[in-house]
Structure 1
Amino acid sequence: MGTTKDPNGAQKSRVGPTTTLAYLDPQYWDERFTTEEHYEWLKDYSHFRHLIQSHLNPSSSILELGCGNSQLCEELYKDGFTEITCIDLSAVAVENMQKKLLSKGLKEIKVLEADMLDLPFSNECFDVVIEKGTMEVLFVDSGDPWNPRPATVTKVMKMLEGIHRVLKPDGIYISISFGQPHFRRPLFEAPQFTWSVEWSTFGDGFHYFFYTLKKGRRSPDNRSDEKLERPSINLYQDELEGEDFIFRTNLDELSS
């Protein structure tokens, strides 16, 4: 479940907008980031730290997509990964993040206003690209998750192509997601990508997916050509009350 902090610093759960279509509105994010100090999608760093550690080293150049007001970049920095660039489409989020990091003396972390569908970076310049729940925005109003609308697929592929381009030849893309492999693999394993695709899960009862895509390590038979069966999910009460669940129900409608 996602968490936020009130003005006094107390942690609390929150519920998002009444419709997930609001997530497509840039003004919604600007307004939200104006008043919200901190929110973590898909759990905080402590829940997947054990999964991320083996893929990074102190010299890794890291790009975080859709930083919002997450503390992910701070936590990575505390663990010794100091070459970090964060981007977000919201100018409000970027300004707030820049001020927060400077106030904590973390001036090495770069924060830029940029679109993940049009990355303003040269080819093969990052060792690692990380996004935590950022891709999910592209699936809002995507229709049937087994057969998403062409417009959705076009946006997702544009995002993935940009990530593939800016990764170094042996770079790694880490996607922390609601989306189950049944829905993500056909996109991740498109023929233009050279990365291998692996995943792990974390979370109690309600599983989140930690995808690791390693560029240049794809085998010829690494394709999602097996029969994909409709999965079932089991939701625990604490997850039903969080914004993560509200977002997911619109993305992966699995109950019917």
Structure 2
Amino acid sequence: MAETGEKQARGGSRADVAPSTAAAYLDPHYWDERFASEEHYEWFKDYSHFQHILRPFLNPSHSVLEIGCGNSRLCEELRRDGVADITCIDISQVAVERTRSRLLDMGLEGIKVVQADMLDLPFDSESFDVVIEKGTMDVLFVDSGDPWRPRPATVNKVMKMLEGVHKVLKPEGIFISISFGQPHFRRPLFESPGFTWSMEWNTFGEGFHYFFYILKKGKRISESDYSNEYKNGSWSVPSFNLLHEELEDEDYIFRTTICDELET
């Protein structure tokens, strides 16, 4: 199994590309500079780690949107799994151009790569069967403050992203969100009024758990149906090992969300 995250990113070391502060992740110029020197980096593990969870939701006839592709290889892996209609977006024009070039060199045609902001998706309503984001939404939380009461500006951005995703999903489409964020923090956002999707979640990882959220549009169920997940006044959430070897060197997002949460 390939080492995920590439502790030494091809084209530059972690020290060369990692920002000095977590807030830099919100700056589009940071990403342009990073992708100009970094060839490949997988946030939150590569496809091989969660393929068994995602594959049941994929169909060769599906249209798939990947939000925040960066320099990930996810789109190639989805193509190998038989998905033909794939669109990738990233806010960085550098990432877009380099991804297009890489796919061309590989002879992979038909994967559309578009410069776009996840807060302003440039697609018609009901355009995609599946929308996938892997660590992209977590970037919005790097300056959220108290995880139990995130700053209004953070909530507004997250809601704007989710509203866009909900809009571009087909009536029975599925949103896949791969995240560090625990269910008791994500649930209030995912289940805001106006969203018709249901929420399920799984985990992957050895020792440390990454969360794999599955939101099925048009399938929202009542709060009572979550009773098996809620026991003794709290949600059933796996424990965390903060020093587990799986964690990559560059985990500002983790430190500013999970660690702050545990200290609260």
* TM score, norm. by length of structure 2: 0.89
Q: Distance in 1 between matches of 2:183 and 2:158?
A: 15
Distance 1:204 1:13 in 2: 23
Q: Which residue of 123, 127, 130 corresponds with 1:128? A: 130
Is this contact kept in 2: 1:185–1:224, CA < 8 A?
A: no
Pair 1:251-2:257 in alignment: yes
C-alpha displacement at 1:251, in angstroms? 1.9
Amino acid at match of 2:26: L
CA distance in 2, matches of 1:129, 1:42: 17
Q: Give SS of 1:146's match.
A: coil
Structure 1 position 19, deviation (Å) = 1.4
Instruction: Tell me the secondary structure at the aligned position of residue 212 of structure 1.
Output: strand
The question of 1:141 aligning with 2:143 is answered yes
Percent of aligned pairs with the same residue?
A: 63
Q: Deviations over 1:115-149 (max 9, x none)?
A: 11011000001000000000011111100111100
Deviations 1:188-225 (A, max 9, x none): 01121000000000011110000000000012336989
Return the letter of the residue paired with 2:240: I
Residue in 2 that maps onto 1:173: 175
Kept after mapping to 1: 8 A contact 2:206/2:246: no
2:10 aligned residue (6, 12, 17): 6
Q: 1:58 to 1:230 in 2, by over 3 A?
A: closer
Deviation at 1:185, TM superposition (A): 0.6
What CA distance in whole angstroms lies between the structure 1 residues aligned with 2:225 and 2:40?
38
Q: Could you tell me whether the CA contact under 8 Å between 2:207 and 2:244 is conserved in 1?
A: no
Change (3 A) 1:71 1:240: closer
**1:27-42 correspondence to structure 2 within 5 Å:** 27-42=29-44
RMSD across aligned positions (CA): 2.2
User: Letter of the aligned partner of 2:261 in structure 1?
Assistant: L
Higher relative contact order (CA 8 A, sep 6+): 1
Q: Distance in 1 between matches of 2:132 and 2:248?
A: 26
2:85 alignment partner in structure 1: 83
CA contact (8 A) 2:146 2:261 kept: no
Letter in 1 for 2:65: L
Report the secondary structure of 1:122's partner residue: coil
Check conservation: 2:5, 2:248, Cα contact below 8 A: no
Unpaired segments of 5 or more residues in structure 2? none
Residues of 2 paired with 1:71 and 1:171: CA distance?
23
Match for residue 240 of structure 2? 233
In the TM superposition, what are the counterparts of 1:26-105 in structure 2 within 5 Å?
26-105=28-107
Q: How many residues align?
A: 252
Q: Is the 8 A contact 1:2 1:13 kept in 2?
A: no
Give the SS at the match of 1:172: strand
Q: 1:224 to 1:176 in 2, by over 3 A?
A: same
TM-score (norm 1): 0.92
The amino acid across from 2:241 in the alignment is N
Aligned-pair CA distance for 1:26: 1.1
Q: Which structure 1 segments of 5+ residues have no match?
A: none
Kept after mapping to 1: 8 A contact 2:183/2:235 = no
CA, structure 1 residues 154+140, in 2 after alignment: closer, same or farther (shift >3 Å)? same
Change (3 A) 1:46 1:169: same
Alignment-mate amino acid for residue 77 of structure 2? E
